Chains A and B, each alone.
Chain A
Amino acid sequence: NAGVTQTPKFQVLKTGQSMTLQCAQDMNHNSMYWYRQDPGMGLRLIYYSASEGTTDKGEVPNGYNVSRLNKREFSLRLESAAPSQTSVYFCASRGARSLGTDTQYFGPGTRLTVL
Chain B
Amino acid sequence: QSALTQPRSVSGSPGQSVTLSCTGTSTDVGGYNYVSWYQHHPGEAPKLMIYDVTKRPSGVPDRFAGSKSANTASLTISGLQAEDEADYYCCSYTGSNIGVFGTGTKVTVL
Q: Please determine whether chains A and B interact with each other in the same assembly.
A: no
- A contacts, CB < 8 Å to B: none
